[in-house]
């Protein structure tokens, strides 16, 4: 109801909010997944095989 009212008034804040929110959620989820998987896999290799350390 509030979204319709705002959008009819030409503000379009709902679309903007969902767009920004979705972008940051997707990026955060992918980042967390990548970092956690990296931590998990790196435990299975000795540090001398992780050349960036």
Partner 1 sequence: MTSAPANPLASGSEPDQTDAAPVTERRALEGTGSRGSRIVGTLALISLAATALYGLVLSPPDANQGNAARLLYIHVPTATVAYLAFGVTAFGSAMYLWKRTEFWDLLAGASAEVGVVFTGICLLTGMLWGRPIWGVYWVWDARLTTTLLLFVLFLGYLALRRVLVGSPSRAKWSAVAGIVAAVDIPIVHYSTSWWNTLHQGTTISPQKTQMGGLMLFTLGLGFLSFLLVYWWLMIHRFRLQYLETRLDEVGLDTAIAERRAEAGRAGTSGPTAAGPELAEVR
Q: Does 32 bind partner 1 (CB under 8 A)?
A: no
Three-class HEC string of 1-53:
CHHHHHHHCCCCHHHHHHHHHHHHHHHHHHHHHHHHHHHHHHCCCCHHHCCCC
Q: Does 4 bind partner 1 (CB under 8 A)?
A: no
Q: Does 1 bind partner 1 (CB under 8 A)?
A: no
Smallest gap from residue 3 Cβ to partner 1 (A): 11
Q: Which residue ranges make up the site for partner 1 (CB under 8 A)?
A: 7, 10-13, 15-16, 18-20, 22-24, 26-27, 30-31, 34-35, 37-39, 41-47, 49-53
């Amino acid at each position: 109801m509030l979204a319709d009212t705002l959008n009819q008034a030409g503000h379009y804040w709902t679309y903007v909010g969902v767009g920004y929110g979705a972008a940051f959620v997707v990026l955060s989820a992918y980042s967390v997944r990548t970092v956690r998987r990296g931590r998990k896999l790196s435990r299975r290799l000795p540090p001398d095989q992780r050349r960036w350390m």
